[in-house]
Structure 1
Amino acid sequence: MKMKFFYATAAGLMLLLAGHSVNGQDLTTARKTIAETNKRYFELFKKKDLALVDLYTADATLLPPNGPAVNGKAALVKDFTTAFADTHIAGVKFTTRNVYEGGKSFVMEQGTWEVLGTDNKVVDTGNYLKMWQKTKTGLKIFRDIFNSDVKYSSK
């Protein structure tokens, strides 16, 4: 009886560990994909290329600081067109701090961001949280919320 319990417990632990290994492996793959996509994001932003919007899902929402939500690809195109027209902004940079599992369909990314001026000096910094959706064509940004380290002033 004790041996059956031992084997059943050992088998259960092995299954539990195998499950964590698969999830960890999926998270490692997600981290790699996110890093590659963020690199592409930087390149597209620097070139002011609206193909950047294709990194988002069709029903994506961007939640910027001190502004309304930007919902869907058409609104994203308008938002990025406005951002690209700002001649003081040369690029953006993301630094991933953590990637978390978000269930079967999502992965969460937490990090910090920087906006670079045309002189390549940092003009703003902040934190972000992105919700990536697993799609047929790979991970896409589903929700993108960020805030600035600069304190808001109504003056």
Structure 2
Amino acid sequence: MKTKIILSTLLMLTFWCNAQTTDSALKEVQKIIEASNKTFSDFTNKNDGSIVARYTDDACLFPPNGEPKCGAKQIDSFFRGGPQVHVIFTIQNLYGDPKTAVTEESFYEMTDMNGKKLDDGKVIVIWKKTKEGWKMHRDMFSSNHPAKQG
């Protein structure tokens, strides 16, 4: 009986230590993603295609009310010529394997360059670790408001 208690305790400690390591590693990845999210608007507003470097080579963007945009050319085409906006992302959840891929669940608020609120909604991004660092692999977002008819 004493052996079972000791083994159970050791097993529980092993799981607890492993969970702590994972939490710490995910927190590091979250810091990287938060830094990327802070400058996302800066790259889209440049309107020079530099936003594409934030995505994997085989990335797909899933915008609301439209077809998926896959690959650098289509993703660049989606962002190029868009309005100048500022977007703030607030991460709600981050989970996955901090060594290979994680999923980000966030809320966003979009304003014009004068701070007037244009939209708010939700985002799910699958981030993939590449040789160049963490990049967006799948990016899906939608507004919290009905599509405007017109």
The answer as to 2:59 corresponding to 1:80 is no
Task: Give the 3 Å change call, closer, same or farther, for CA 12–55 of structure 1 in structure 2.
Answer: same
Letter of the 1:120 partner, please give it.
G
Name the amino acid aligned to 1:75: Q
Correspondence for 1:108: 103
Q: Which residue of 2 aligns with 1:99?
A: 94
Does 1:48 pair with 2:43? no
**Which amino acid in the other structure matches residue 31 of structure 1?**
Q
Which secondary structure state, in structure 2, belongs to the residue aligned with residue 109 of structure 1?
Answer: strand
Q: Is the 8 A contact 1:106 1:131 kept in 2?
A: yes
Asked whether the equivalents of residues 60 and 142 of structure 1 are also in contact (C-alpha less than 8 Å), the reply is yes
Are the counterparts in 2 of residues 92 and 113 from structure 1 also a CA contact under 8 Å?
A: yes
**Corresponding position: 1:140 with 2:125:** no
Consecutive unaligned residues in structure 2, runs of 5 or more: none
Alignment size in residue pairs: 150
SS in 1 for 2:81: helix
- For 1:7 and 1:49, how far apart are their aligned partners in 2? 62
Question: Is this contact kept in 2: 1:45–1:91, CA < 8 A?
Answer: no
Aligned partner of 1:8 in structure 2 is: 7
Question: Which amino acid in structure 2 is aligned with residue 143 of structure 1?
Answer: R
Offset of residue 54 of structure 1: 0.6
| Equivalent residue for 2:85, pick from 72, 90, 96 | 90
Match of 1:35 in 2: 34
Paired amino acid for 1:37: S
Letter in 2 for 1:145: M
Q: State the Cα distance separating 1:124 from its structure 2 match.
A: 1.5
Identify which range, 99-108 or 14-23, moves more after superposition. 99-108
| 1:150 corresponds to which of 125, 145, 148 | 145
Between the aligned residues of both structures, percent identity stands at: 27
| Structure 2 counterpart of 1:136, one-letter code | K
Q: Post-superposition, which runs of at least 4 consecutive aligned residues in structure 1 deviate over 6 A?
A: none
Could you tell me which residue of structure 1 aligns to residue 123 of structure 2? Answer: 128
User: How far off its partner does 1:25 sit?
Assistant: 1.0
- The residue type equivalent to 1:111 in the other structure is S
- In 1, Cα distance between the equivalents of 2:112 and 2:91? 21
Superposition RMSD in Å: 1.9
Secondary structure of residue in 2 paired with 1:67: coil
Q: Using structure 1 for the length normalisation, give the TM-score.
A: 0.86
Q: Which digits, 9 at most, give the CA deviation of each residue in 1:118-155, with x for residues without a partner?
A: 43211121111111112222211011100112212444
